[in-house]
Amino acid sequence: AVSASACVSASVASSTTPVAEVVASCFSAENAAAAQSKALALKSDDPDLWIDRGLSYAAIKAWPRAISDFERALALRPRDVEIIVLRAAAWRNAGDPSRALTDAQFALRIAPEHSEALLERGFSYLALGDKKGAEMDFSKVLVLVPPGSAAARRAEAGLRGEQPSAATPAPAAKGGGTR
């Protein structure tokens, strides 16, 4: 594996590609995951490293790897709502709404008004055909978050019956989720 800095140096020296494009391609999710793997080899007890690599895998839609990394992070911080929500999103994107629902419900037992957990449960309900359950969660999100926020837009899409596309789960900020 080539380091990102070596990638940038070599690419800039041998290319007419704009530097910004070179940097973006060299700092890809694959390169990030490789760097995070090296860091984990040195410090496997750091849940944030597992989360970061899980997000890198999610960015390239490597859902089983993302889920595995989120599980490793949860082994180190078992009741961390943010990690539970990330794993729920990964399960949903991996096509397993039942497991996503289980994670979202667990997160909501810990933090009943966590907007991202409510969104994940709503999208899981929607995928499982429970429109009424989904509508209740999406409506609650709209009460909790600022109008026009990303969470509000996702809730509004859910109320229209739209599932989000398989995308990288957004890391929720620590200390809440009621933004």
Whose tokens are 């969104």? That residue is 119
- 102, 161, 109: which is closest to 132 by C-alpha? 161
pLDDT recorded at residue 87? 97
Over residues 125-158, the pLDDT tens digits come to 999 999 999 999 999 999 999 999 999 999 999 9
Q: What percent of the chain has pLDDT over 90?
A: 58
Instruction: Please check whether residue 70 is in contact with residue 50, taking contact to mean a CB–CB distance below 8 angstroms.
Output: yes
Q: Name the pLDDT band for 175 (thresholds 50, 70, 90).
A: very low
Rounded alpha-carbon distances, angstroms, from residue 109 to 28, 79, 80, 102: 36, 10, 12, 11
Average pLDDT over residues 14-19: 46
The encoded tokens of residue 1 equal 């594996």
Over residues 96-123, the pLDDT tens digits come to 999 999 999 999 999 999 999 999 999 9
The helix-helix angle for 63-76 and 47-59 (nearest 10°) equals 170
**Residue 20 vs residue 70, higher pLDDT:** 70
Residue 177 reports pLDDT greater than 60: no
Q: Which residues contact 104 (CB under 8 A, 6 or more apart)?
A: 84, 85, 88, 117, 118, 120, 121, 124
Over residues 71-105, the pLDDT tens digits come to 999 999 999 999 999 999 999 999 999 999 999 99
Instruction: Please check whether residue 143 is in contact with residue 108, taking contact to mean a CB–CB distance below 8 angstroms.
Output: no
**Residue 167 vs residue 115, higher pLDDT:** 115
The encoded tokens of residue 5 equal 């800095």
Residue 174 reports pLDDT greater than 50: no
The encoded tokens of residue 6 equal 């070596």
